[in-house]
Amino acid sequence: MKRHFTLCLLIVTVLSAYAQQTQKPVLHGKNWMAITGKPLAATAGAMTFQKGGNAVDAACAMLAATCTMWDVLSWGGETQALIYNPKTKKVIAINALGVAPTGATPKFFKNKGYNFPPENGPLAATTPGTPGGLLYMLANYGTLSLEQVLAPAMEMAAGYPIEAQTANSIEKNKDLIKQWPYSKKVFLTHPGEKREAPEAGEIFVQKDLLQTLTKLVEAERTALKNGKSRKDAIMAAYDRFYTGDIAKEIVRGNREQGGLFTMQDLAKWKPIEEEPLMVNYKGIDVYKLQQWTQGPVMLQALNVLENFDLKSMGYNSTKYIHTLYQTMNLTFADRDFYYGDSYFAPEEPMKGLLSKEYAKQRASLIRYDKNNPNIGPGDPYPFEGKKNPYLKLLKKRGFELDTTKRNFAPTHDIRNGSSMNEYQERLWLGTTTVEAADKEGWVVSITPSGGWLPACIAGNTGVGMSQRMQSFVLDANLNPFNVVAPGKRPRVTLTPSMALKDGKPFLSFAVQGGDTQDQNLLQFFLNVVEFGMNVQQASEAANINTNQLWLSLGGTKTDDRKPKPGHILLHDSTPETVRNELKKMGYTLSFDDRTSGPINAIYFDWKHGSFWGGSSNHGEDYGIGW
């Protein structure tokens, strides 16, 4: 009897660890769901649904609003999206990542003393992708006009009460902002005063951006008056941005401040509709963008983890944490070497990397007595019937173990007053997410970014330029697939997610952050599928993060980005027994009170014909359902 009672108590304790009351309520809706990184932007999505728009319309409205609010992105950044089309019953991928401009070569940056392209300023900028991605999605899959969808963002550009997080970020970065005249004009609303940035609640006006958005709407109106279709009218706005007067001012402003943009760079760039990558995990089809993102790393991890009985290990037990950590080490080592722009040679070995047989081989490398600091990229080529052309390079390179010099982290979106150290803060935060779904069956998951504060604004456009060039490498020894070249896309961390079960939408989810995105999304998915959490519980649940990977953002030297083997972030609530066991296995521990994201997600309840929305308790993320 005593043994039976102890077992029951253990089960109750384990279940209560993750089935606890959430800090934010789960969202419910039967008609639509709109979730994103800022309350006002979620309201923009709700307004668009109430106009009769579908999930694509609402997602585009939220994307426009978050760009206008500088929610760690701007109009000159990049957009990555997955869309479920209920008419075709298929998931499609939207690649709206900008490219390196003319003249952006390894030699160019090395001659300036860089080991990686810079973090900020005009030389950090890829060509704008978000406007093209938004206009393409709206034209092909939305229902409303551009004027209707941009209305909330235009009203905000005319003046909205700025929130404290953005206002304080401007103030914190004002010395850097002052280096760029167009940024200084927009952001420093109180020049010469002690606080030069706007105050929280102050009406923040962006006249130049409003003029740019007005020009897009004018192009649409003119095209409609000339008898053009809805789609062609929206694409007329696209042409004005990428080949017309807006493009000319972006290029002029970029080059005046030392950038490399040309009119040809903007005119030649196009958003691409792609086939997403997919693996099946225990009957669930999980979709990610292609290898120009880090998205496939989660698919690789699911393939590896399918070889283990995770549920029997127990949520966040020592064995579960160790298995996750080792799996992520294996898959991120592959990401760091093999991922890059699929439209440039050499061809990435994705068939091998995503094969179940390769995953089984990699899973066999996991040892359960200690952390393995020597994990490096595997050899996926035999699993697609080829010989690895990089074996000599891998042998020559080895795997970096010296972590003493890695003190740098990406410098975007530092939240004041955080208990995290600077490294973890910078690794963890950044960008935003957009999630939308409607009763007609449209589902959208977006992870946009680029043009975060401190942003360099391109001339008199109000458009903050991307900083995504820093995700390239200049040395093929680090990653032969991700070496900078004109017209090429850097391998980004941005990674929306979607899952289908029985051929129908099951989950749509995304998270902000840098290299931790697919770490947190992997655990969110497992929280739902393996441990039965609802989307709000799963979005708030304690995660772990590994630092045993190469940083994708920031740093001027190679040492700045080297992995930190064994370094792990745990939640403050981690039991002392688990902490001690992990230390004995060679881990270096750090802690925080929130370790999950922030994650935003939608679960599709087909039994009841409704949506469940989860919006993280981590930051300012917010959702509205109806």
Question: Once rounded to an integer, what is the mean pLDDT over residues 473-482?
Answer: 94
In terms of domains, do 620 and 594 share one? yes
pLDDT of 9 above 70:
no
Residue range 255-274, pLDDT digits in tens: 999 999 999 999 999 999 99
Residue 69 in domain: yes
What is the rounded average pLDDT for all residues in the chain? 92
Residue range 385-395, pLDDT digits in tens: 999 999 999 88
In terms of domains, do 400 and 373 share one? yes
Question: Once rounded to an integer, what is the mean pLDDT over residues 440-450?
Answer: 97
CA-based nearest residue to 538, from 381, 315, 351: 315
Q: Are strands 588-592 and 567-571 parallel, antiparallel or unpaired?
A: parallel
pLDDT of 297 above 90:
yes
The CATH number of whichever domain residue 496 belongs to comes to 3.60.20.40
Question: Once rounded to an integer, what is the mean pLDDT over residues 421-443?
Answer: 75
Structure tokens given for 40: 């006002």
> In sequence order, which ranges of 88-244 are alpha helices (DSSP H)?
106-111, 130-141, 146-157, 164-172, 174-177, 181-187, 207-225, 230-243
Question: Once rounded to an integer, what is the mean pLDDT over residues 520-543?
Answer: 97
pTM of the model: 0.93
For Cα atoms 284, 289, 292, give the angle at the middle one, nearest 5 degrees: 145
Q: How confident is the model at residue 72 (pLDDT cuts 50, 70, 90)?
A: confident
In terms of domains, do 302 and 361 share one? yes
The answer to whether 101 and 265 have CB atoms below 8 angstroms apart is yes
Residue range 204-218, pLDDT digits in tens: 999 999 999 999 999
In terms of domains, do 426 and 454 share one? no
Structure tokens given for 317: 């037990």
Q: What's 561's DSSP letter?
A: G
Q: How confident is the model at residue 305 (pLDDT cuts 50, 70, 90)?
A: very high
pLDDT of 119 above 90:
yes
What is the rounded distance in angstroms from the CA atom of residue 460 to the CA atom of residue 478? 38
Cis? peptide before 161, omega within 30° of 0: no
Q: How confident is the model at residue 596 (pLDDT cuts 50, 70, 90)?
A: confident
Q: How confident is the model at residue 321 (pLDDT cuts 50, 70, 90)?
A: very high
Structure tokens given for 106: 């390894």
What is the rounded distance in angstroms from the CA atom of residue 409 to the CA atom of residue 424? 8
What is the rounded distance in angstroms from the CA atom of residue 339 to the CA atom of residue 318? 31
Instruction: Specify the number of domains making up the chain.
Output: 2
In terms of domains, do 231 and 287 share one? no
Question: Once rounded to an integer, what is the mean pLDDT over residues 470-488?
Answer: 96
What is the predicted pLDDT for the residue at 21?
A: 85
In terms of domains, do 136 and 247 share one? yes
Residue 547 in domain: yes
Alpha-carbon distance values, 193 to 171, 187, 189, 626 (Å): 11, 13, 9, 45
In terms of domains, do 269 and 282 share one? no
Q: How confident is the model at residue 304 (pLDDT cuts 50, 70, 90)?
A: very high
> Which of 3-12, 141-150, 532-541 has the weakest average pLDDT?
3-12
Q: 278 in helix, strand or coil?
A: strand
The answer to whether 76 and 465 have CB atoms below 8 angstroms apart is yes
In terms of domains, do 423 and 317 share one? yes
Q: Which residues contact 67 (CB under 8 A, 6 or more apart)?
A: 73, 74, 75, 77, 130, 153, 448, 451
Residue 459 in domain: yes
Domain of 201, in residue numbers: 60-79+94-273+441-468
Residue 282 in domain: yes
**How remote is the C-alpha of 308 from its chain's centroid?**
28
Residue 324 in domain: yes
Question: Once rounded to an integer, what is the mean pLDDT over residues 170-190?
Answer: 97
Question: Once rounded to an integer, what is the mean pLDDT over residues 183-205?
Answer: 98
In terms of domains, do 183 and 248 share one? yes
pLDDT of 408 above 90:
no
Residue 119 in domain: yes
Structure tokens given for 339: 């991922």
Phi-psi region of 289 (alpha: psi -120 to 50; beta: other; left: phi over 0): beta
The sign of the torsion formed by the CA atoms of 125, 179, 451, 57 equals: negative
Structure tokens given for 102: 């003319």
pLDDT of 397 above 80:
no
> Which of 104-113, 121-130, 228-237, 428-437 has the weakest average pLDDT?
428-437
Q: How confident is the model at residue 19 (pLDDT cuts 50, 70, 90)?
A: low
In terms of domains, do 405 and 447 share one? no
In terms of domains, do 358 and 497 share one? yes
Q: How confident is the model at residue 458 (pLDDT cuts 50, 70, 90)?
A: very high
Residue 597 in domain: yes
In terms of domains, do 251 and 284 share one? no
What is the rounded distance in angstroms from the CA atom of residue 403 to the CA atom of residue 138? 46
Residue 526 in domain: yes
Question: Once rounded to an integer, what is the mean pLDDT over residues 303-308?
Answer: 98
